[in-house]
Structure 1
Amino acid sequence: MLLEELSLKQLREQLEEYELDASGSKKVLKARLEEVLKKNGDDPKTFHFQSAEETILSKLKTIDETSKINNEKFNTISQKIDETSKKNNEKFEEDSRTFEKIQKSVNDNKEMLEEKIKQLETIVTNMKVLPSLNAVVLAVEEKIKELENVARVVRLAYPEVPDRVLEEIAVDTFVNGLKDSELQKALRLARPKVLDEALAIALEHEAASQASRNNQVLTVEKGDKRKDERLVEMHISCKTDSLICAARLLSLARQPTDTNSERRYIEVRQNNSNQDKYTVQ
């Protein structure tokens, strides 16, 4: 559309686009627009003005081109994001595999360490138990020698008395020399015939008493370190007492004098094995 074809309204719209005064008659507006075109280096006679429809179409075209450019940028950015996300996922999977390997190694080392600790605990327990056991065995041996001396002295004091009577005297001497009144009572009720039988009954009574003392109940809460240590001490104590009783019985079994005392020794050993226990809740 040429300058000559513009209506008054279109002249005003064109001047408003150039941010010029749009008031006045058509002739004044035309002259004013003609002057602007000349200043911009355009020929007023041949310059083509866009109608409102053409302007809208032009703007829509511009918007469409801008939208295409933005879509291309968006696609490019989306592609970069996808590539970065893929790389991050691959890196995460690799790190996860590495972590699993490290975790497995840590668990293996932990199990190995726990096994070493158990071995050390066993060694320490043995170091605590063996000296006590050796001391008790020595004490038992001394006690047996003492009983042998009692029997020998009785025989020397009464050389003409029959062996049966000498055994009864030796048994009475042994019973009267005991400090434990309950043990004395048990021996008198059992009425042993020979000294070895009296000793077997005494050990049977002591084993039963020891088992009753060891049958304890200890409530241990999770995370209670002090009671955990007490539990270990109880376990070691019970094992030690069991070994002590076994040592005494073994010492008794060295020189059995008759079938009754030997049978009594076997019964005592079985009874001690069945009663030596403790309970933990």
Structure 2
Amino acid sequence: MLLHFTKMHGLGNDFMMLDLISQKVRLRPEQIRRLADRHRGVGFDQLLTVEAPERHDADFKYRIFNADGSEVENCGNGARCFAVFVHDRRLTHKKELLVETAGGLLGLKLADQGQVSVDMGVPRLHPDALPFLAQAQATSYALQVEQQTYDIGAVSMGNPHAVLRVESAIQAPVETLGPLIEQHARFPKRVNVGFLEVLDRQSGRLRVYERGAGETQACGTGACAAMVYGRLRGWFDEQVTLQLPGGHLQIHWAGPDQHLTMTGPAQRVFEGQIYL
């Protein structure tokens, strides 16, 4: 079968976009892994599919698959690419969209100069939402990894995140500590791990080790989770710019029980087709 796709990225976090409204295909995990191979396939951090919605109040259904073939609940950078993709493909003329994901509904708004704003909803802070094994909800938790204890935040943005503050994001042990926390027994469904350096009340640096993908150039939901943890700890104001390896994201969050908004770019790289 000949599969048509678009390659896109949001701050270097790259995606293979599939329109499954105009073409019908069902991909198995091993096929996704093969497509994700950067030497023998297309190469991507995540595969994103556009499908017809199941809910009457949604414009589209949006599914996300990691490079290892596992399906996940949410992806902030992918959501921005999704909005640009469906508009460029003329699947819709609307500039504001409501899309259905495994993590809930997302509101997307196409803005000027290639920017997209995403209403990420209300962050979920109870441990059960991730899930995370803890006796009660708290602003931070002590997590023992091998012989060391780390102070972390636990936030669900429709997908699970652990965030820890570091002195330097550049020098943070992302490659070694990231997978240890990702697969920690207290996160039964694994977790994305953010390494946050606070610069001042309006800015910070962030690197993210993503569940099922490893470190990526940018993680939208990870940036949102870092903002939430930083604001709960009193480090951030309600508008923050986070610097990720691939670029900058603007995050706005007024506080608990309020919707969080993320704004950043999304770009098309190329169109292609590949035989399955």
Q: TM-score, normalization: structure 2?
A: 0.23
Task: Using CA pairs under 8 Å that are at least 6 residues apart, name the structure with larger relative contact order, 1 or 2.
Answer: 2
Q: Which has the larger radius of gyration?
A: 1
- Structure number with the higher strand fraction is 2
